[in-house]
Amino acid sequence: MLRLCLLLLSILATTSVASRDSRPDGNVPSVQATALPGEARETLSLIKRGGPFPYRKDGSVFGNFERRLPSQPRGYYREFTVPTPGARDRGARRIVAGLGSAGNVRYSGEYYYTDDHYFRFRKILE
């Protein structure tokens, strides 16, 4: 019975890791901006306009500690809240923006969407 439990735990752990969209090698699947929820498209528009942002933490540094986005120096990525209808808090949806060669998220063109609080990312294609 113990062996069966350990085997099942091993299978579940492997399945969970294998099913992630974002991978540690920096290869991130993509999504067309037009396929994003309306709230995400609005947040992307706010980023490009430079705000104003509705949440105090918008624009704060995203650490990429799990390495689900391409490796960059600390401070390169910034996170922005995508409102979730009906949520009492910030919810789980975010857009993470890279500074790009311009050094500014407004013009970088490097945007990633997550709807599960940083577990999976998709690069936004415009």
For strand 60-61 and strand 77-81, is the pairing parallel, antiparallel, or unpaired? antiparallel
Which residues participate in catalysis according to the annotation? Answer: 79, 117
Phi, psi of 56 (to 5 degrees): -60, -35
Are 61 and 75 within 8 A, CB to CB? yes
Written as six digits, the tokens of 70 are: 């391409």
Three-class secondary structure of residue 114 per DSSP: strand
Measured distance CA(89)–CA(98) in Å, rounded? 24
**Can you give the length of the chain in residues?**
126
| Residue ranges in 1-56 assigned as alpha helix (H) | 2-18, 38-49
